[in-house]
Amino acid sequence: MENANVLRDDLLRAIGDADTLDTLESLRVAALGKKGSITALMKSLGGMDPEARRQAGQALNVIKDEVAEALDARKTVLARAALDTRLEAERLDMTLPVRPESRGAIHPVSQTWEEVVAIFAQMGFDVAEGPDVEDDFHNFTALNFPPGHPAREMHDTFFLPEREDGTRHLLRTHTSPVQIRTMKARKPPLRILIPGRTYRCDSDMTHTPMFHQFEGLVIDKATHFGHLKGCLQEFVEAYFEVDAIPMRFRPSFFPFTEPSAEVDIGCSRKDGTLKIGAGDSWLEILGCGMVHPNVLRSAGYDPEEVQGFAFGMGLERIAMLKYGIPDLRTFFESDLRWLRHYGFSALDVPTVQGGLSR
């Protein structure tokens, strides 16, 4: 067994010297593998006398265990060293400052649009839309505008160049033409909300050439002015998030409604701050009325069969009032500082139950 002890010493030394896991693995195969040196010695036991075999066998097993143990121990050391080297090489600098994040915000027009849609959806209205480029019929004639009405003049309305057939299209001056389009496309009863862009030749602190409106239209067999009042009261309280807002219906005129009214809500203006919902002052917020029989007729409805109410309001106007935005023009200047200040968080989707303007 002399050479077995020599072999063991050689192996243990080589294992101690191995400086990579690969070298160590080659040593393991060379000693304990199928054709390894210790395996070969084990095989040679077969040709010995029983007594000699027993002694040599025991001694060989001890050597085999010693070598296996040395291999394991060295493997642990080398694996840890390899991990240390890797960690050293891949070290992250946790002290680096984070990159500045740029988070978007929802524009007050979009937010208000969603709020108003959520409120009217709750009352059973569905949304209807129509084209920005309209014809004279839908924008004026079908809505009972007389031929010489000032809104038909160049200085109020953006007209497009005359077409070959002599007609001139225009950028719609209100969302009311969609009343006609929807009535023609559908059968009563109707309960629709029409949000959209509108255009007028106007520009100052409270007017921009493009702005947004909401139009409501309800048509049924017996819809009356009381329904209109109830619906608007409900809307105003939900939108401004104030209970029991005083409301005043002032007689007014629109070609497409009869009777017509402008609606004011109660407010106070103490020390230059506007507060909605109480006080001794009034603030105009929208126009409304009972749909004129001529309008029903233009849409192919019989005024003896159905009647209804309509209302229209400026989206930016009610946004300015609720969120205290003083100048209408700033809505469309695309100033990021303005948007960061007045914008809304993208994940706060307005709902009547969950809250509109969080």
The identity of residue 255, as a single letter, is P
Instruction: Give 67 or 193: the residue with its C-beta nearer to ligand DAH.
Output: 193
With beta carbons less than 8 A apart as the criterion, state whether 312 and 192 touch.
Answer: no
Nearer to ligand DAH, 223 or 257 (CB): 257
Phi then psi dihedrals of residue 264, to 5 deg: -115, 150
196 versus 312: smaller Cβ distance to ligand DAH = 312
Cβ 312 to ligand DAH shortest distance, Å: 2
The annotation places the binding site at 258
β-bridge partners, 171: 133
Burial of 111 (0-12, 13-18, 19+ CB in 10 A): buried
User: Nearest 5 degrees, angle CA 291-CA 188-CA 292?
Assistant: 10
Q: Which residues bind ligand DAH (CB under 6 A)?
A: 174, 176, 215, 254, 257, 287-289, 310-312
CB of 310 to ligand DAH, least distance (A): 3
CB of 219 closer than 8 Å to CB of 303? no
Q: Which is nearer to ligand DAH, 60 or 128 (CB)?
A: 128
Closest to ligand DAH by CB, 38 vs 310, is: 310
* Distance in Å, CB of 277 to ligand DAH, minimum: 23
* Closer of 66 and 253 to ligand DAH (Cβ): 253
Sign (positive/negative) of CA torsion 23, 27, 30, 33? Answer: negative
Question: How many C-beta atoms lie closer than 10 Å to residue 265's C-beta?
Answer: 23
CA atoms within 13 A on the CB side of 222: 0
Q: What CA–CA distances, in Å, run from 152 to 75, 133, 199? A: 92, 15, 13
Distance (Å, rounded) from C-alpha 126 to C-alpha 189?
A: 12
CB of 199 vs ligand DAH, minimal distance in Å: 11
- Least distance from C-beta 218 to ligand DAH, angstroms? 11
Closest separation between CB of residue 261 and ligand DAH, Å?
8
Residues in binding site for Mg(2+): 258
Nearest-CB residue to ligand DAH? 312
**Minimum separation from the CB atom of position 316 to ligand DAH (A):** 13
Residue 13 or 186: the one with the smaller Cβ distance to ligand DAH is 186
